[in-house]
Chains A and B, each alone.
Chain A
Amino acid sequence: MTKAILEIESLSAGYGRFDVIHEINLRIDDGEAVALLGPNGAGKTTVLRSIMGLVKERTGVITIDGTDVVRMPPHKVAKGYAALVPEGRRLFLNQSVEDNLRLGAMRHRRDQRKVEELLNSVFELFPIVESYRSREASMLSGGEQQMVAIGRMMMNDPKLILLDEPSLGLAPLAIADMARALIKLREDGRSILLVEQRVDIALEVCNRIYVLSDGKIIDEKRTGDIGADGRALIDHYLG
C-alpha cells in the first residue's frame, strides 16, 4: 500500500460569498504525478492555492504526508510540505536569478551546504539558468523565467510540488523543454500536482488525471487507460 503524500477530503473554498470549488476529493501517492484538467474558471487554480494556504475561506481536510495543513498560513506550508510554481511565474523580477533561487531555499537558510546542493541540482536540470545566474530576472524570456520559477520551487525541496499552468504564455520550444524537466522530476520520484490546460502535456508528464468542471471533480483516469477515445473524451469535457 503506497503512502499517500496528499489527501484532500471534502474541500470547499472560495473568495467571498460563494464557493468556487465544492467538496473536492483528491489523492496523490508518494512519487505520483497527477494532473488536474478542466476548462477556464473550473477552479483548478483555487485547488492549488487552497493547498498552499493562499485561500482564506476553505473548509475540509488537506493532509500532506499525514499532517493536516488546512489551517496553516502559506509560510508554514512552505516549510517543507508544499511549494508552488504559480500561474504566470511571478518571479521577483527586480532581483537576480540567483537571488530568486536562494530566496526559494528560505527554509534551509541555516544549512548552507544544503542550499548549495539544491542550487547545483537546479543548475543541472536547467543549465541555461546557471549561465544567467547574475542576470536580473526581468531580463529573461518567458520560457527562461518559467525554468527559474520551477528552480525556485525546487530549492524549497518540498514533499509536494504544485504547478499552475506552466505552459501558459510559452513558445512551443520552451514548452517542450519545460515538459522534459517535469518528466525528469517525476522520474526522480517527486510527487507532483500539475494543473494544465494543455491535455497533451498533462498526459505526457502524469500517471493519472482528474477532470474538474464547475468546481467539482467529474472524472478520474489513469493515463495508461486513455486511448485514442480517451483523448476525445477529454476534449468533450473541455468543451
Chain B
Amino acid sequence: MSSLISNGRTPISYKMIGTLFAVLMYVAVTLALAHTSNYDQGLLLVGVSFSILALSLDLVAGMLGLFSLGHAGLFAIGAYTTAILMTNYHWSVFEVLPVVLAAGGVIGVFIGALTLRVGGLYFAITTYVFTLIVTVVISDSSITGGYEGLIAPNFPNFPSAFSSLGTSLVWGVSGALLFTVVVIWSIRSSALYPVLLATRDAELFAASAGVKTARTRVLMFSLSAALAGLAGWTFCFLGFITPDQFNGTATINILVMVILGGINTRLGPIIGAFFISLFPVLVSWNPLWQEIFFGAVLLFVIAFFPEGFVGIIGRLVRLARGRYSAVTSFSDNVKGEPVIKAVVPTFHSQSVTTSEFALEARNISFSYLPGVKVLTDIDFVVRTATIHGLIGPNGSGKSTLVDLLAGQLAPTEGTITLNGRRVEALRSSERPKLGLMRTFQTATMVREMSTEDNVTVGLFHKYRHLLLRSLVWPLLPSGRRDSRQMKREAREALLSVGLGPQWPSVKVADIPHGVEQLTQLAAACVGTPSVLILDEPLAGLSASEVSEVAIILRTLRVSGVTVVVVEHQTRFIFDVCDEVTVLAGGQLVKSGHANDVRMDVQVREVYLGQ
C-alpha cells in the first residue's frame, strides 16, 4: 500500500482513491438503472437480490465451512415479514428494515448454536429441514396467503424534489447491496479473516490461540442470517412472493450460486447469483434444453474448476500474464539446502512472573474411559525461565499431559497452576491471555493462507473487539493501524524463528514441512507468552534447522520465557534442557536436572532401550 501523500497523520493512498472511484461508479450505475425500463430493472434487481443472499451464504459457507441450506428459509422469512408488516399493518419500509435484520439475527443465533451439535453434512441437512418447515408454514397459513402468496408492498417513491433520481426501489435495493458488500468485504480485509479461516480449517490451532470458536461461529451465522433477511426484504418488492420461490430447488440454488461463482471470493457469489437468476431469462431456448445445459454447467465447472467462475477468470488472467507460480523460482533453492539462516532472534520479553514455578501440575490423573488410566498421579513442575524437557516412549502419556496443561482436556483429578493461578478448569481458549501458548505435533494451519496471516492468528487474544470492528474494518483508522501492526509483529516473529523476508507471503500449502513447524512456533511466540509448550517441534526438521531451534529456545529462556519441550530426539533434549521429566506407561519415572536424569538407570532402561 503506497503512500501518495503523508502528512504524518492520515496518509492518502492509491487504494483509497480507487475505492472512492469505485463507489462513484456504483452510484452512477445505480442512477442509470433507476431510469431504465421496468423490465430491465426487474431483471437486474432480481440479480442484485440474489447477490445479497449469495454473499450472506458465502460468509458462513466459504469463510467458516458451514454449508447452510437454510438460507432460503431466512430469505423467505425476510420477504414475508416485510410484506405482511407493510401491507397488513402499514409499517413503513424503514420501520420494517431493522425488524427484518433483527429477526434474521436472532434466528441465526439459534441455528448457529445448532452447529455445535451437528457438523458438516448433518448441519446442511438440518438447515435444509428448517427451510422446508418455513416453506410449509407459509404454504399453509392464511396470513401468508397460502399457495397464492402475497403481492409486493409498495416501495415509497422519492419526494418530488428528488424525483430526478428515478425509481426509488432501485436505490433502495442498490443501497442494500452496497451495505452488504461493505460489511462482507470489510471482514475479508480485516484481521478477523485469518481467524475465521483458522476456525474453519485448524480449529485446535485457533482455540489454542485464544479464539472462542463456538461463539465466533454463532455470531457470524447470526450476521449471515440478518443479511439473508435483508435479501428477502429487497426481494419482496419485486413482484409477488409465493412459497415455491423458496422451495427445495431454490435452497440448493443459492449454494450452487456460491460454489459456481467461486466460493470464498469477493465477486464469486455476485457472479454466481447473476448467472443463475438471469440464465433462464437470457437464454431462452427450449426450457428443457436449458435445464440440461444448466445441469451440464454444474457438472463440468465443479469437476474441472472447483474454484468456480472466479477461478476460471483468475487462471485466464495468470495465463495472460505468463506467470504460472511465483513459488517455482525459489523452490529450487530450497531443495536439500539449509532453508533457515541463523538470525539473532529478538524476543521482547513480557513475562513478569514472580512465582518460582511458572507451571505446576500436581497429582494429575486422567482417563478417557473409567478404569483405563492414561495418567496416574503425575507431578509436573516447571521452574520459571527454564527449558524443561518431557520425554518418554510412545504411549507414555506425554501428549495427554500436554493437552491437559494447555486445556484441550480436563484432568480427572489434580490441579494445574499457571503463574500462580489455578487453570485446570479453564478451556484452552482462555489460557493464552494468561500467558500460555502451545504448538501441536501435527502442524495444522490454514493451507490457503500465507505464513504471516497464519501467524497473526496467534495475536488474537491481544487485540480488542476484533469481531465487532471487522464489520467496517477498512473504514476505521484503528483497523488499518492494527492490521499494519499485526503484520509487522508477524513478520518479526517469523524472522525470530529464522524465516527471512521471502517467507511471510508464501502460502502454507507451498512450504516444506520444516518451515511449517517453524511457522507454528512463530505463531505461538508472536503473542509474547510467558509459558510456551512445544509438542515435538523438531519432527521433520533437518540437522541445521534443529540447531536453529536450540538457539531460539535458549534466547527465549534469556528473555524470561519458560519453555516446555516434548520430544523424541533425546540428544537435543539433554543438550538444551535444564530439567527433564520422564514418563512411561502413564506414570512418572524421574524428574530433575538433565544430567541426573540422563544418567539414571531406570530411565535408560525404560526409554533408551538398553
Judged by CB atoms under 8 Å, the answer to whether A and B touch is yes
Interface residues of A (CB under 8 A from B): 16-20, 22, 39-41, 142, 168-171, 197-201, 213-214, 216, 235-236, 238-239
Give the residues in chain B near A16, CB-CB below 8 Å. 509
From B536, B569, B585, residue with most partner A Cβ within 10 Å: B569
B568 touches A197 (CB 8 A): yes
Q: How far is the CB of A218 from chain B (nearest CB, A)?
A: 10
Chain A min CB distance to B109 (Å): 39
Chain B residue with the shortest CB-CB distance to A172: B606
Interface size on B, residues (CB 8 A): 28
List the A side residues contacting B336 at CB < 8 Å.
22, 216
Within 8 Å by CB of B543, from A17, A200, A214, A235, lies A214
Give chain B residues whose Cβ lies under 8 Å from the Cβ of A214: 542-543
Contacts of A19 in B (CB 8 A): 335
The residue that B609 contacts in the complex, of A169, A199, A239, with Cβ under 8 A, is A199
**Which B539-563 residues have a C-beta within 8 angstroms of A?**
539-543, 546
Number of A-B contacts (CB under 8 A): 54
Q: Is B394 among interface residues, defined by CB-CB distance under 8 A?
A: yes
Smallest CB separation, B130 vs chain A (Å): 34
Smallest Cβ-Cβ distance to B513: which chain A residue = A41
Whether A168 pairs with B327 at a CB distance below 8 angstroms is no
By the criterion CB–CB under 8 Å, are A40 and B609 in contact?
no
B538 at the interface (CB under 8 A from A): yes
B540 to chain A: closest residue by CB: A41
Interchain nearest-CB distance for B198 vs A (Å): 20
Residue of B nearest to A197 (CB): B568
User: In the bound complex, how far is the Cα of B610 from the Cα of A214, in angstroms?
Assistant: 26
Query: Which of B327, B335, B395, B539 touches A41 (beta carbons < 8 Å)?
Result: B539
What residue of chain A has the Cβ atom nearest to residue B334's Cβ?
A18
Bound CA span A218–B189, Å:
48
Please indicate the chain A residues that have their CB under 8 angstroms from the CB of B511 in the complex.
18
- For B610, give the chain A residue with the smallest CB separation: A200
For A20, the chain B residues whose CB sits under 8 A away are 513
Q: Does B572 contact A (CB under 8 A)?
A: yes
Contacts of B489 in A (CB 8 A): none
Q: Which residue of chain B has the shortest Cβ distance to A165 in the bound complex?
A: B394
The residue on B at minimum CB distance from A17 is: B510
18 pairs, A vs B, C-beta closer than 8 Å: A16-B509, A17-B327, A18-B511, A18-B513, A20-B513, A22-B336, A39-B568, A39-B569, A40-B536, A41-B541, A142-B395, A170-B395, A201-B609, A213-B543, A235-B571, A236-B571, A239-B546, A239-B571
Q: Give complex CA distance A169, B395 in Å.
A: 5
B331 in contact (CB, < 8 A) = yes
Q: Is the CB of A239 within 8 A of B572?
A: yes
Give 6 A-B pairs besides A40-B569, A239-B569 with Cβ atoms closer than 8 angstroms: A17-B327, A18-B512, A18-B513, A19-B335, A40-B540, A214-B542
Q: Complex formed: what's the CA distance from A19 to B335 in Å?
A: 8
Q: Which residues of A contact B569 (CB under 8 A)?
A: 39-40, 238-239
Q: Which chain B positions have C-beta within 8 A of A18?
A: 331, 334-335, 511-513
Q: Which 4 A-B pairs have the closest CB atoms?
A: A41-B540, A18-B512, A239-B571, A41-B539
Contacts of B335 in A (CB 8 A): 18-19, 22
Question: In whole angstroms, what is the CA distance A170 to B569 when docked?
Answer: 19
**Residues of chain A within 8 A of B572, CB atoms compared:** 239
- Partner pick for A200 among B512, B571, B609, CB 8 A cutoff: B609
State A39–B538 Cα separation when bound (angstroms).
Answer: 10
Give CA–CA (A40, B541) in the complex, Å.
9
Alpha-carbon separation in the docked complex, A214 to B544 (Å): 10
Residue on A with the closest CB to B512? A18
Interface contact A40-B568, CB-CB below 8 Å: yes
A88 to chain B, nearest CB (A): 10
Most buried by A among B331, B571, B572, B610: B571
Measured CA separation A213–B543 after assembly (Å): 9
Chain B contacts of A142 at CB under 8 A? 395
- Closest Cβ of chain B to A131, distance in Å, is 23
Bound CA–CA A18/B334 (angstroms) = 9
B543 near A169 with CB under 8 A, answer no
User: Shortest CB–CB separation between residue A47 and chain B, in angstroms?
Assistant: 15
Contact status of A198 and B543, CB under 8 A, knowing A18-B512, A39-B569, A168-B394: no
Q: How far is the CA of A142 from the CA of B395 in the complex (A)?
A: 10
Q: Closest approach, in angstroms, between the C-beta of B282 and any C-beta of chain A? A: 41
Contact status B568-A169, CB under 8 Å? no
Q: Which of B501-536 contact A (CB under 8 A)?
A: 509-513, 536
Give chain B nearest CB distance to A222 CB in angstroms.
Answer: 21
Within 8 Å CB of A22, what residues of B? 335-336
Contact partners of A236 in chain B: CB under 8 A: 571
Which residues from chain B contact A238 at a C-beta distance below 8 Å?
Answer: 569, 571
B416 to chain A, nearest CB (A): 26
What distance in Å separates the Cβ of A159 from its nearest Cβ neighbour in chain B?
30
Q: Kindly provide the distance from the CB of B482 to the nearest chain A CB, expressed in whole angstroms.
A: 32
Contacts of A40 in B (CB 8 A): 536, 538-540, 568-569
CB A19 to nearest CB in B, in angstroms, measures 7
Whole-angstrom distance between the Cβ of B536 and the nearest chain A Cβ:
7
Are A169 and B571 in touch, CB under 8 angstroms? no
Residues of chain A within 8 A of B609, CB atoms compared: 198-201
Closest Cβ of chain A: how far from B14's Cβ, in Å?
Answer: 33
Contact yes or no, B568 A17, CB < 8 A? no
- Report the nearest B residue to A15, measured CB to CB: B513
Smallest CB gap from B545: residue in A: A214
Q: Hey, which chain B residues are within 8 Å of A169, CB to CB?
A: 394-395
Docked complex Cα distance between A134 and B76 (Å): 57
In contact, B543 and A239 (Cβ under 8 angstroms): yes
Bound Cα distance from A214 to B538, whole angstroms: 12
* Least CB separation from A201: chain B residue: B609
